[in-house]
Structure 1
Amino acid sequence: MAAVSVFPSPGELGAALARSVAEAAAEAVASGGRFTLGLSGGSLVQLLARELPPALSAVAGSEPSRWLVAFCDERLVPPEHPESTGGAYRAQLLSQLAAPPQVLWVRSELGPAEAAREYEGRLRQAFPGEDPPQFDLLLLGVGPDGHTCSLFPGHALLQEQNSLISHLEDSPKPPPRRVTMTLPLLNAAKSVLLVATGAAKAPVIKVWAEILKFWAKSGILG
């Protein structure tokens, strides 16, 4: 079911988001033994770093040691680079967790095509018997132009139907070399939270909200 929630401040958004993640984790661990989570970068890193640790302490059964974490997209820069999504999560969030989760890191030292193939191979191994893999939860950001992950409006990757992970070397937003989840993988997730902050993103969020309402009414979303 599609729903849109609006919060008056980033702090209130972050607290609600962290609570949703913790509760989803507890439910998944209780029912299947593990929680599979896809993370996006940008403002989500700071929101989760600030709010998720206390939320995990407050929700029983949400222990990160039972989690599998992957990245919805990654910039192919060294982990210590300020544009590295994995590096940001390692420094700001994962370092706070006493029992860290299993993490599928993107090998940023590889070329784009090889990094995408290698990442997809390990992703498939982590979800045996699932084709495509079904994440319990994906946290997606959105840009002012409407892009999510590294799927930009008008880009050829929006037509990808075979690969779960693909690459690009011409990202409209730097850095240009990236790997990203594709629509077949995003669409397979059990739950998706699309998160945006700031007035600049309000127009595109209104468009997303109308699309979600249409999908829900037409049965595209369960």
Structure 2
Amino acid sequence: MKIIVGKNKDDIFQKTINLIENVAKESIAKDNIFKIGLSGGSVATFLTIGIPKIKTDFTKWKLFFCDERNVPEDSNDSTYGFYKSALIGTSKLTEDHFIRIKQGVSAKEAAADYTEQLKRYFPGETVPKFHLLLLGMGPDGHTCSLFPNHPLLEETDEWIAAITDSPKPPSERITMTFKVVNNSKNCVFVVCGKEKAGIVKRILHNKEDLPASRVNPTSGEVYWMLDEEAAGDLQKINED
């Protein structure tokens, strides 16, 4: 685990963008492709500003979703819709770079279809190995659409699971399971603001069993990118 603390939100956002740029460069050099998983919320807001500034070969990027709401793409709740409106036309990314959920079907069908799409982009892999997953964290410690005390926390077979009773609306979503999350080469939490200091302490200091606490790649690295307000009393740990 690497905990990186920035002076403020802008500082930690820039550090995160630098990390993404470095991982993209290494991935393209090694694999001729960069496979990244995106999240919504505040993470999405800063990414739409920072991604266009990254020095990279965007033709080698494939962007997936760590979770997605089962809504039309033109809905205000659509994570893809948010990225589309902010990035397509303002960056070198096009619709073809995004791996989107199937429209007009149930969450269960959308999850099955997304699993099939992953199989095409991760051929021969028993579990997809993403180069990088960008993760958010809610005030209850949830990440992706994996919520505290929900049965999906214990899912060990599926890559992508449907959730129809999300405690946070909209209720129907699809989400990566821990089977996929913890097979990633890099998992990156970006958490800012003093309102997150309490949950950050519960996870990183008290080691409580919350969904975000379970992100621990088996053969990769997890980064906690925190501004000083979110870090609270945690001592800064420099990168190796």
TM-score (norm. length: structure 1): 0.89
Structure 2, unaligned runs of 5 or more: 222-240
* Contact 1:39–1:140 (Cα < 8 Å) also in 2: yes
Identical aligned residues as a percent:
35
- Aligned residues: CA RMSD: 2.0
CA separation of 1:184 and 1:93: change in aligned 2, threshold 3 A? same
Is 1:193 the counterpart of 2:188? The answer is: yes
Structure 2 match to 1:85: 79
Structure 1: gaps of 5 or more residues: none
SS in 1 for 2:63: strand
Q: Which residue number corresponds to residue 74 of structure 1?
A: 68
Query: For residues 82 and 187 of structure 1, what CA distance do their matches in structure 2 show?
Result: 29
2:163 aligned residue: 168
Distance 2:199 2:219 in 1: 20
- Runs of 4+ displaced beyond 6 Å: 219-222
SS at match of 1:79: coil
Aligned to 1:207: 202
Residue 157 of structure 1 and its aligned partner are, at CA, apart by: 0.3
Match of 2:226 in 1: none
> Which residue in the other structure is 1:39 paired with?
38
Q: How many residues align?
A: 212
**Aligned amino acid, residue 7 of structure 2:** P
Segment drifting more, 72-81 vs 96-105: 96-105
- Which residue in the other structure is 1:25 paired with? 24
The structure showing larger relative contact order (alpha-carbon pairs under 8 Å, at least 6 residues apart) is: 2
> What is the CA–CA distance in structure 2 between the aligned matches of 1:154 and 1:95, rounded to whole Å?
41
What CA distance in whole angstroms lies between the structure 2 residues aligned with 1:109 and 1:13?
38
Shift in Å at residue 220 of structure 1? 8.5
Structure with bigger helix share is 1
Task: Please list the CA deviations of residues 76-125 of structure 1 after superposition, one character each: whole Å capped at 9, or x if unmatched.
Answer: 11111111111101111243222546221012421010000001111111
- Provide the rounded CA distance (Å) in 2 between the counterparts of 1:52 and 1:197: 18
Please say which of residues 118-127 and 201-210 is displaced more in the overlay. Answer: 201-210
Per mean C-alpha deviation after superposition, the further-off stretch among 42-51 and 161-170 is 42-51
What whole-Å deviation, never above 9, does each CA across 1:115-149 have from its counterpart, x for those lacking one? 00001111111100111010000000000000000
CA distance in 2, matches of 1:149, 1:191: 15
Preserved CA contact (<8 Å) 1:150 1:178? yes
| In 2, Cα distance between equivalents of 1:19 and 1:132 | 27
Question: For each residue in 1:56-77, what CA deviation from the matched residue of structure 2 results, as whole angstroms up to 9, or x when unmatched?
Answer: 13xxxx2111011100000111
